[in-house]
């Protein structure tokens, strides 16, 4: 019998499985497709606190940013991890004011030192090629980047090397109680476990339904483009959000990876699981990138993809025990790449030691239990 089964082989499931194993548990991962095929290999590569809502999400990302170097050092690849910083670029007094207000709120979250506000000249000291209309910026040196695909593959390799058993093509269709255990029916057969962790990302709500728990996870599909390598235009990840109310469903992000490729994104399709690449989203992303870096007009695109973000309905990550279900846990992020390091460590502590870190108390799935 396997002691602990993790449903979902994305960043959150793999990190949880690895940390459980490091603490001595027997662990099995059931992934219905191939490892990383859900959303985790489709992320943009930002590990950003700067951009996060000033709630538990920001606390979790800060803790993850701190723990990431230690985790990476235990993997067999550095996954192109680097502390590159991030820069929000602004082109109106209204945007600057709004950013300052957000920064005040973010500073209330323990451990967040806040952004450094830059004037027109200071922005150009960091990104000389920025467009003329950009008049100010908010810079946060603590943010980082990592290659999402390499991180998924490294977690997978190190987890299996440490003894985690991973099954691909194992779609969990039924979960029921079998005495003191959980019994799962999957496309590759039945499994029994004492402990279950639902790390099924955008599909975690469907998995929770199988045990009668209402876990409100909103799918938000979105598209990303990757260019061919180009001469360096930026060290920090750069973001520009012309409509702060998000009515245009687009946040223009430019991350230049260590190999010179630009990761350009991203669009937001709320309520959608559709991972089609659309000409409209491609146009939106390319136009946005050239709006802040004119030199990117006509940049050659090498790859494009879309993925589905899992977003808990209240924009707070979900980590903890599901109330009323013995040894059944849920782990669903808001910014899963940024959160995955600490999420796995914290979930292993919750599962094996029983107590969530104080930072995670408000992340309990219990908040969604019917009163």
Q: How many residues sit in the footprint of ligand FAD (CB under 6 A)? A: 42
In this chain, which stretch among 6-14, 86-94, 99-107, 281-289 interacts with ligand FAD, using CB under 6 A?
A: 6-14
Distance in Å, CB of 15 to ligand FAD, minimum:
8
- Rounded CA-CA distance 137/348 in Å is 39
DSSP symbols for 153-183? HHHHHHHHHHT-EEEES--EEEEEEETTEEE
Q: Which is nearer to ligand FAD, 138 or 202 (CB)?
A: 202
- Rounded CA-CA distance 257/229 in Å is 9
Residue 12 lies near ligand FAD (rule: CB under 6 A): yes
Is there a contact between 143 and 91 (Cβ–Cβ < 8 Å)? Answer: no
Distance in Å, CB of 352 to ligand FAD, minimum:
20
From residue 37 to residue 76, what is the string marking binding to ligand FAD with x (rule CB under 6 A)? xxxx-xxxxx------------------------------
Q: Tell which one of 55, 106, 241, 266 touches ligand FAD (CB under 6 A).
A: 266
Q: Tell which one of 203, 240, 293, 329 touches ligand FAD (CB under 6 A).
A: 203
Distance in Å, CB of 7 to ligand FAD, minimum:
5
The two tokens of residue 261 are 């490729």
Residue 344 lies near ligand FAD (rule: CB under 6 A): no
Residue 262 lies near ligand FAD (rule: CB under 6 A): no
Residue 11 lies near ligand FAD (rule: CB under 6 A): yes
Q: Tell which one of 4, 166, 200, 217 touches ligand FAD (CB under 6 A).
A: 200
**Token pair 């989203």 in the structure block, residue:** 281
Q: Tell which one of 123, 335, 351, 359 touches ligand FAD (CB under 6 A).
A: 335
How many CA atoms lie within 13 Å of 329's alpha carbon, on the beta-carbon side? 32
Residue 185 lies near ligand FAD (rule: CB under 6 A): no
Q: Which is nearer to ligand FAD, 119 or 273 (CB)?
A: 273
Residue 196 lies near ligand FAD (rule: CB under 6 A): no
Residue 32 lies near ligand FAD (rule: CB under 6 A): yes
Residue 48: which residues within 8 A CB-CB, separation 6 or more?
A: 61, 86, 140, 143, 237, 335, 338
What is the footprint of ligand FAD within residues 299-318 (CB under 6 A)? Answer: 307, 309-310
Query: Strand, helix or coil at 110?
Result: coil
* Cα 299–chain centre separation: 27
Which of 82, 81, 77 is CA-nearest to residue 154? 77
Residue 346 lies near ligand FAD (rule: CB under 6 A): no
Helices (H), the chain: 11-22, 56-73, 93-107, 120-126, 148-162, 204-209, 279-292, 336-353
Segment 95-102 long-range contacts (CB within 8 Å, at least 24 positions apart): 95/136, 95/244, 96/135, 96/136, 98/244, 99/138, 102/54
Q: Tell which one of 265, 288, 356, 365 touches ligand FAD (CB under 6 A).
A: 265
- Rounded CA-CA distance 293/285 in Å is 12
Contact residues for ligand FAD, defined by CB under 6 A: 7-13, 30-33, 37-40, 42-46, 170-172, 199-203, 207, 222, 224, 265-266, 307, 309-310, 332-333, 335-338
């Amino acid at each position: 019998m396997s002691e602990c089964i993790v449903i979902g082989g994305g960043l959150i499931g793999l990190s949880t499985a690895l940390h459980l194993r490091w603490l001595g548990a027997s662990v099995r991962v059931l992934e219905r497709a191939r490892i990383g095929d859900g959303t985790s290999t489709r992320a943009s590569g930002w590990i950003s606190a700067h951009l996060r809502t000033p709630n538990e999400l920001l606390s979790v990302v800060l803790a993850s940013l701190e723990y990431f170097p230690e985790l990476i050092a235990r993997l067999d690849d550095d996954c192109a991890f680097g502390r590159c910083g991030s820069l929000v670029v602004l082109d109106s007094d209204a945007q600057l004011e709004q950013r300052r207000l957000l920064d005040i709120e973010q500073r209330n979250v323990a451990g967040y030192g806040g952004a450094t506000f830059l004037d027109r000249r200071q922005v150009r000291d960091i990104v000389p090629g920025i467009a003329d209309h950009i008049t100010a910026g908010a810079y946060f040196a603590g943010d980082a980047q990592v290659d999402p695909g390499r991180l998924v593959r490294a977690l997978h390799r190190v987890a299996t090397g440490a003894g985690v058993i991973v099954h691909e093509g194992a779609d969990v269709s039924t979960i029921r109680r079998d005495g003191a255990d959980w019994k799962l029916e999957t496309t590759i057969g039945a499994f029994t476990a004492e402990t279950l962790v639902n790390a099924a990302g955008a599909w975690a709500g469907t998995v929770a339904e199988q045990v009668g728990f209402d876990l409100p996870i909103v799918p938000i599909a979105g598209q990303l483009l990757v260019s061919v390598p180009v001469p360096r235009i930026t060290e920090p990840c750069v973001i520009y959000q012309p409509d702060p109310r998000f009515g245009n469903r687009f946040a223009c992000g430019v991350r230049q990876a260590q190999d010179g490729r630009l990761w350009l994104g991203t669009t937001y399709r709320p309520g959608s699981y559709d991972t089609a690449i659309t000409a409209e989203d491609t146009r939106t992303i390319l136009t946005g990138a050239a709006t802040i870096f004119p030199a990117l007009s006509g940049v050659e695109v090498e790859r494009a993809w879309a993925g589905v973000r899992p977003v808990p309905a209240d924009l707070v990550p979900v980590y903890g025990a599901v109330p009323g279900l013995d040894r059944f846990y849920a782990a669903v992020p808001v910014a899963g790449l940024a959160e995955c390091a600490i999420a796995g460590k914290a979930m292993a502590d919750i599962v094996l030691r029983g107590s969530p870190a104080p930072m995670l108390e408000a992340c309990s799935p219990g908040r969604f239990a019917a009163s």
